[in-house]
Amino acid sequence: MNELDPVIHAQARLRIMSTLAALSDGSSMTFPRLQNLLDMTAGNLSTHLRKLEDAGYVSVRKSHNERTPVTDVTLSTVGRRAFEDYMTALRALLGEK
Amino acid sequence: MGDDRLDRDVMATDDAPMSAAQMLELSRAQQQRVADFFETPTLIIVATWGVAWFVGFLALWLGRPASVLPIPGDIAGTAFAVLMIVGVVTSVVVGSRTGAGVKGRERFEGAVYGISWGAACTAVPVLGGALQRAGMTTDVAALFYPAAYCIVIGTLYLVGAALWQDRSMIVVGAWILLVGVVAPYFGAPASYLVMSLAGGGAFLVYAALLLGARSRVKRSRVVRPS
């Protein structure tokens, strides 16, 4: 149980998960806002989001606001649980409660 | 095949592994950044009203003929009105932009809260105007306005405390309500001075505390987000 989830255990993906987990359940963040809060390039963010999406941790929804494409990213229930488990495992490794 | 290539690409973009302690700090720093993103608008609104009240009520107090540093009454009145308008516009603009790029509870709460400041602070002079038309004297108006502003803003602070489970906002809200109901007993123009120092001063102290708390968090960071 102490093994760290490899999907989350990478700097960029941990930061993405931490950002989304800071929102309340079911809230979503647009791709540009996420990029801005993470200081990541669009390409880099997309790559890591795909990995998280493949694991079922985030859902990426594309829609249109009038003619502008909008991408909303939401942490899934599975993702929130995985993030909590990861943080618990990390704290356990450090001897924190 | 395609998946393999994707995995390799993802791994290639992974940064060098960090220790557990560094990863924990990285996560905390990132969550603090998100918290700052939501709190900055509140800080701007509070600081703006601090300056508007402090300077505005001080101007009204000095605008009386017998004051220590007399300034023409109409200039003082205009300065006060302009500052209140700046406060309202800032609250509405900044409040409605709170959490832009986020959909969900935080966005709704922040926008409703910020716009409430603007709406409540607009309601006071509109009501005051009606009362003055109905015969409220300048002396009574001098007691009404500060008290009415305190009641709505003190209440808004208490609502904010409930929204964000922020105990410091309970203290500020209760203090502003208290200043609002006590200041009129000093009579005009002393009530203006009480409002400027105790009311505007309280906002500025609160804004400074928020700013101080934030910079302490920043300084304590071990790992900076890259």
Task: Please write the tens of the pLDDT for every residue from A18-43.
Answer: 999 999 888 999 999 999 999 999 99
CB-nearest to B30 from A15, A26, A51 is A15
Query: A43 lies in a domain?
Result: yes
Query: What value does the mean pLDDT of chain A take?
Result: 92
Residue B9 pLDDT grade (very low, low, confident, very high; cuts 50, 70, 90): very low
How confident is the model at residue A42, as a pLDDT?
95
> pLDDT-derived band of residue B186, with 50, 70 and 90 as boundaries?
confident
Task: Specify the CATH number for the domain of residue A15.
Answer: 1.10.10.10
Does the structure show a pLDDT above 80 at A49?
yes
Taking the CA atoms of chain A, what radius of gyration do you get in angstroms?
A: 14
**Does any domain span residue A72?**
yes
Please report the sign of the dihedral spanned by the C-alpha atoms of residue B60, residue B61, residue B65, residue B70. negative
Residue A1 has a pLDDT of 47
Does B107 reside within a domain?
A: yes
User: Considering the domain boundaries, does residue A97 fall inside one?
Assistant: no
Whole-number Å distance between alpha carbons of A60 and A75: 9
User: Residue A3 domain-assigned?
Assistant: no
- Mean pLDDT is lowest, of B7-16, B75-84, B191-200, for B7-16
Beta-carbon separation of B225 and A28 below 8 A: no
Q: State the residue range of the domain holding A35.
A: 11-92
Per-residue pLDDT at A97: 61
In angstroms, the separation between the Cα of residue B113 and the nearest Cα of chain A is 17
Give the model's confidence band at B6: pLDDT under 50 very low, under 70 low, under 90 confident, else very high: very low
User: Are A15 and B26 a contacting pair at CB < 8 A?
Assistant: yes
Q: Flag whether B101 is in a domain.
A: yes
**Which is more confident, B3 or B143?**
B143
Find the helix or strand (DSSP H, E) in which A89 lies: helix A77-93
Give a yes or no: residue B217 inside a domain: no
Say which range, A75-79, B27-31, B193-197, has the weakest mean pLDDT: B193-197
> In this predicted structure, what is the pLDDT of residue B14?
62
The mean pLDDT of B66-86, rounded to a whole number, is 84
For chain B, how big is the Rg over CA atoms in Å?
23
Q: Check whether B70 has a pLDDT greater than 70.
A: yes
pLDDT of A17 > 50? The answer is yes
The rounded distance, in Å, linking the Cα atoms of B22 and B112 is: 37
Q: What is the pLDDT of residue B82?
A: 93
Looking at the complex, report in whole angstroms how far the Cα of residue B5 sits from the nearest Cα belonging to chain A: 12
Q: pLDDT above 90 covers what percent of chain B?
A: 19
Q: Which chain B residue shows the shortest CA-CA distance from A51?
A: B10
Return all residues near B161 (Cβ < 8 A) that are at least 6 apart: B167, B168, B169, B170, B173
Cβ contacts of A15 on chain B, cutoff 8 Å: 26-27, 30, 225
Tokens of B180: 């609002």
Residue B24 in any domain: the answer is no
The verdict on residue A45 lying in a domain is yes
pLDDT at res. B220: 56
This model of the complex carries an ipTM of: 0.91
Residue B170 lies in a domain: yes
pLDDT value of residue B219: 59
The answer to whether the Cβ–Cβ distance between A94 and B101 falls below 8 Å is: no
Instruction: Tell me what the pLDDT averaged over chain B comes to.
Output: 82
What is the per-residue pLDDT across B82-103, written as a single tens digit (0 to 9) for each? Answer: 998 898 888 888 887 878 889 9
Where is A70: in which H helix or E strand? strand A68-75
- Burial string for B117-153 (b: 16+ CB within 10 Å, else e) reads bbbbbbebbeebeeeeeeeeeeeeebbbbbbbbbbbb
pLDDT number for residue B100? 84
Q: Mean per-residue pLDDT for B30-49?
A: 87
In this complex, do A50 and B105 lie within 8 Å of one another by their Cβ atoms? Answer: no
Q: Is residue A53 included in any domain, yes or no?
A: yes
User: CB-CB: which of B27, B28, B33 is closest to A37?
Assistant: B33
Residue B28 covered by a domain: no
What is each CA distance from B27 to A49, A66, B18, B117, in whole angstroms?
A: 17, 36, 12, 33
Range of the domain at B144: 46-209
A22, part of any domain: yes
Total count of domains within chain A? 1
Number of domains chain B is built from? 1
pLDDT at B182: 87
Residue A82, in any domain of the structure:
yes
